[in-house]
Amino acid sequence: MNEYESELLGKLIKHLQLEEVDPSKITGKTPLFGGDGLEFDSIDAIEIEIMIEKEYGVNILPSERSKSSYSNLGTLSGFIQGKLVSE
């Protein structure tokens, strides 16, 4: 996991109050939704968007809400970084 992914994971854990999550067991390829991962649901997705807007100043358009943006910590991190560069 790179430094940016670690920072994002820390913010997700804090914002979503995931005290039971062991950050050392999470990688950039850990799925955010579904089994074998963090098992976030649609409510968590909304909370993630709120956190991203608050922490990074990035607005996520409805058309950008997709598996390619949210599939794992690495893709979400890359998506945010891409938005920051383009804005």
Domains in the chain and their CATH numbers? 3-86 (1.10.1200.10)
Confidence of residue 66 (pLDDT cuts 50, 70, 90): confident
Mean of the pLDDT values across residues 63-74? 90
What pLDDT score was predicted for residue 86?
81
Instruction: Name the nearest CA neighbour of 8 among 66, 22, 23.
Output: 23
Residue 87 has pLDDT above 80, yes or no: no
Residue 34 has pLDDT above 90, yes or no: no
Model confidence, pTM: 0.89
Instruction: Name the nearest CA neighbour of 11 among 1, 20, 23, 2.
Output: 23
What pLDDT score was predicted for residue 82?
93
